[in-house]
Chains A and B, each alone.
Chain A
Amino acid sequence: MSAMEPAKEKSGLDAVIEAYKKDVDVTLIRENLRLTVDQRFQRLMKLQKFAEELRRAGRKARSRK
């Protein structure tokens, strides 16, 4: 392995990250940054609960088929 390889890998990763950055929804980030850390966690737990309800509803709908 040449000494240049790690640098090449790093720039490759940077390019990938830059590509992903274009699709980040900054409005969601700004909304979150207005909250306290505690509020961010309370929201996360509500979101988990909602996701679980959706999964349960999906399972129920599939079982009816």
Chain B
Amino acid sequence: MTDFNALLRLLTEHGVEFIIVGGAAATAHGSARLTYDLDIVYGRSSDNLARIVNALAPIEPYLRGAPPGLPFDWSTETLKRGLNFTLITTLGPLDLLGEIVGGGGYERLCSETIEVEIGGVKCLCVNLERLIKVKRAAGRPKDFEVIAELERILDESS
């Protein structure tokens, strides 16, 4: 099980700049679909990378799907060298996304967010309109049902 409450608390308590996207954002907007991972778009400033490293170190981030025992250096240098990281942690799967198709990076996406409260912590979540655009831009067949549901939610909310 993914402990969304604990993951979000950890990130927020360390002052990490992030925005919830993907399936968890769909849940926030009312989707009834089951999702297992937490996808976040994170700020790429050096300070924020250091906050992410400190926040996640205790929950042992490791590359999801990689064979155990591979050398994986959890550091700001590693984050600087990459962009998107698909991780497994002791609190569940976590995807760190530097950019997303149809949404860009943290700074660009910030203006299209809403504040949500989950497990007692307040954090930013991509708004429904942008989430639909992101899913449409990705154009993956597996997202077609998701887009249809999100558009129904938009109809119901307006």
B-contacting residues of A (Cβ < 8 Å)? 13, 16-18, 20-21, 23-26, 28-33, 35-38, 40-41, 44-45, 47-49, 51-52
Give the number of residues in B that approach A within 8 Å (Cβ atoms): 32
Instruction: Tell me the minimal C-beta distance from B47 to chain A in angstroms.
Output: 28
Interface of A is mostly: helix
Asked whether A32 lies within 8 Å of B30 as measured between CB atoms, the reply is yes
Q: Are B118 and A32 in contact (CB under 8 A)?
A: no
B residues contacting A by CB (< 8 A) are 1-5, 24, 27-28, 30-32, 34-36, 116-120, 125, 136, 139, 144-145, 147-149, 151-153, 156-157
Q: When A and B form their complex, which 7 residue pairs have the shortest distance between CB atoms, in order from nearest?
A: A20-B148, A28-B32, A32-B30, A21-B148, A37-B116, A24-B152, A48-B1
